Amino acid sequence: MMPLPVTSPGPPPPPPPPKHPGISAPISLAAPKETDRVLTRKLVETLRPFGVFEEEEELQRRTLILEKLNNLVKEWIREISESKSLPQAVVESVGGKIFTFGSYRLGVHTKGADIDALCVAPRHVDRSDFFTSFYDKLKLHEEVKDLRAVEEAFVPVIKLCFDGIEIDILFARLALQTIPEDLDLRDDSLLKNLDIRCIRSLNGCRVTDEILHLVPNIDNFRLTLRAIKLWAKCHNIYSNILGFLGGVSWAMLVARTCQLYPNAIASTLVRKFFLVFSEWEWPNPVLLKEPEERNLNLPVWDPRVNPSDRYHLMPIITPAYPQQNSTYNVSVSTRMVMVEEFKQGLAITHEILLSRAEWSKLFEAPSFFQKYKHYIVLLASAPTEKQHLEWVGLVESKIRILVGSLEKNEFITLAHVNPQSFPAPKENPDKEEFRTMWVIGLVLKKPENSDVLSIDLTYDIQSFTDTVYRQAINSKMFEMDMKIAAMHLKRKELHQLLPNHELQQKKTQSAEGVTLTALSDDSLDLTADSENSMSVPSPPSTVKTGPVSGSSQGRNSPTLAVMAAPVSSVQVTDVSLPQVYPSDSSGGTPSESVAQTASHPAVSPPPKPTVTRVVSSACLVNHPPRPSGSAAANIANPIVGV
């Protein structure tokens, strides 16, 4: 046989590309310099006075409380197992466990913060057991105070105060006979055969654990997140319910920044955070990893499949299956406000890098009450403290609907709600009443070829109040004397409702200027003139929303292209907005679904009401007397009566 020809070996195969966290390669792998370390130490010292770090003694106290709660859960599950006649061997090994999620699990909780917890039980323990026998067991514990169950919530929860620490406990029953100590909740197979409430309850832990798994350096991530959360709270953009971002959304943005700069430390990551998200091309989604397909038939965020997902303005997608958009509440206005804050943060951190400013400048609260020339003040009142807490929670959860409605008006460029609520002065000092108010700053656009701008806001306020009252009535929460009022105030009139320490901040340039005049009993006239104008930074030049479904009654346009507001001046007269009272009978439909966008009203709005009386915006609105007896029966639609 002829020998086979000898072939020289070819070049070795190329090494596999290095693994990196995230869906794309890092922007920079640069290691920190000494100047970065110095700036990071200065950042830590700046954060300390704000209470973002908890003392070791307090951390140990939290750990001890969670151990007690965990032992209580195990004891309760053993008792349930025995009552259901399970074999003794199973009873001894049945397990059960308390998991944590949210800021405590991420390691970024602040002094006095509450703890989000999840009780995981085996398959023979029902949700009804959790809200009966476990609730009763907690009630008997001497260290448990303020115990209350919210079984009908979207994510059912037991709330309590354990030795002075507020704890929210969710419940999930897994399809397992026992719960092992080393259970990893990131395992997708655990979701099989679970009801939707258990899947929702598990979601918080799964998302939190996944975030920690996807960041390259947990310590750098935590310090950066502490700084960004404090910044967001100081700048009034930390509120998921009002259309800004909540804790998990801020955590995901910081985690994505860490992925893009995996070797950077906190001082650099804070600066890069503002760089990345001031330039981000929304609505491109923020993803921490590629979404994975699972054959569990659970709804996931996917704009290719779900038309409603295409209208989300600032999607930040949770990394755990089923992937969801954590920011579906974001509106045109709240996104504009946040992007502008990102840009301001970038400018400040650039000054810090150049030693022209200290870190404290980043955490200075902006002067919201000097920023705008016109404000809408919403007031919610109830006769008792318990009713007031429920009423305020409902009203606050619907304010974003009003903001979305205002945004659709072609002459309103921006409606900026301050996430902070304030106690409102009593109407009658001799009457027991609890009152809370929220403030919305308005930026208005001057019409072309005209010095007069007329906008009727009655429809928008009426739709909002109707939605709130219908939900309260349908959920059987409504009580007599639960009220909502709305009024317009000029900047110089805010002192009549707000404490001086809120208003006495350094003045900033006004965002815009207009004049509001009461034209008639059911309309508002907003007139702009050219006096006392001043130059201000403009919002992004054009932000377009998608088409909005629903009625356009009472509007100039059902869709909106939001433009930068021109600068003008203020010369304002007194106006009032409608005040609405509900009927004692129910009507309408329940509120919007969880994934509803902020720009869609939850119920069909009522016809425009007749405003019977105009009051000065400089004073609190006096409630007109409610009809009684046969007079009340003659009102065709009390929901829209004023």
Q: According to the annotation, is 110 in a ligand binding site?
A: yes
193-216: burial string, b at 16+ Cβ within 10 Å, e else = ebeebbbbbbbbbbbbbbbbebbb
Q: According to the annotation, is 468 in a ligand binding site?
A: no
For β-strands 115-121 and 97-101, DSSP reports them as antiparallel
3-state secondary structure 276-296: HHHCCCCCCCECCCCCCCCCC
Q: How far apart are CA 159 and CA 576, in angstroms?
A: 40
381-385-391-394 Cα dihedral, nearest 10 degrees = 130
Catalytic site includes residue 116: yes
Whether 282 contacts 314, CB under 8 Å: yes
| Catalytic residue chosen out of the listed positions 81, 97, 103, 372 | 103
Q: How far apart are CA 622 and CA 626, in angstroms?
A: 12
| Catalytic residue chosen out of the listed positions 36, 129, 201, 229 | 229
Q: According to the annotation, is 134 in a ligand binding site?
A: no
| Catalytic residue chosen out of the listed positions 238, 321, 375, 469 | 238
- Closest among 347, 457, 444 to 402, alpha carbons compared: 457
Q: According to the annotation, is 464 in a ligand binding site?
A: no
Q: According to the annotation, is 36 in a ligand binding site?
A: no
Q: According to the annotation, is 395 in a ligand binding site?
A: no
Catalytic site includes residue 168: yes
Residues 6+ apart with CB under 8 A from 393: none
Q: According to the annotation, is 475 in a ligand binding site?
A: no
Omega before residue 15 within 30° of 0, cis: no
Q: According to the annotation, is 146 in a ligand binding site?
A: no
Q: How far apart are CA 117 and CA 157, in angstroms?
A: 10
Strands lying side by side in the sheet with 157-162 = 97-101, 115-121, 165-173, 157-162, 144-150
Q: How far apart are CA 355 and CA 484, in angstroms?
A: 49
- Closest among 262, 264, 263, 319 to 286, alpha carbons compared: 319
Distances, alpha carbon 568 to alpha carbons 222, 477, 512, in Å? 44, 44, 6
Q: According to the annotation, is 116 in a ligand binding site?
A: yes
| Catalytic residue chosen out of the listed positions 36, 97, 116, 201 | 116
Structural tokens at position 314: 């600032």
Catalytic site includes residue 289: no
| Catalytic residue chosen out of the listed positions 114, 163, 521, 529 | 114
Q: How far apart are CA 641 and CA 568, in angstroms?
A: 36
User: Please, which residues bridge with residue 118 across strands?
Assistant: 99, 170
Q: DSSP string covering 299-355, please?
A: ----TTT-GGGGG-SS-BB-SSSSP-BTTTT--HHHHHHHHHHHHHHHHHHHHHHTT
Q: According to the annotation, is 386 in a ligand binding site?
A: no
Q: How far apart are CA 172 and CA 198, in angstroms?
A: 5
Q: How far apart are CA 571 and CA 519, in angstroms?
A: 15
Whether 278 contacts 342, CB under 8 Å: yes
Q: According to the annotation, is 129 in a ligand binding site?
A: no
Q: What are phi and psi of 321, to 5 degrees?
A: -70, 140
Catalytic site includes residue 521: no
In 3-state terms, what secondary structure has residue 52?
coil
Measured in whole angstroms, how far is the alpha carbon of residue 628 from the centre of its chain? 40
Cα 553–606–628 angle (5° rounding)? 150
Catalytic site includes residue 184: no
Q: According to the annotation, is 372 in a ligand binding site?
A: no
Catalytic site includes residue 103: yes
Whether 85 contacts 57, CB under 8 Å: no
Q: How far apart are CA 72 and CA 66, in angstroms?
A: 10
**Total count of residues recorded for the chain:** 642
- Closest among 583, 33, 529, 540 to 267, alpha carbons compared: 33
Annotated binding-site residue numbers: 101-103, 110, 114-116, 168, 229, 238, 247-248
Annotated binding-site residue numbers for Mg(2+): 114, 116, 168
Annotated binding-site residue numbers for ATP: 101-103, 110, 114-116, 168, 229, 238, 247-248
Q: Which residues are catalytic?
A: 103, 114, 116, 168, 229, 238
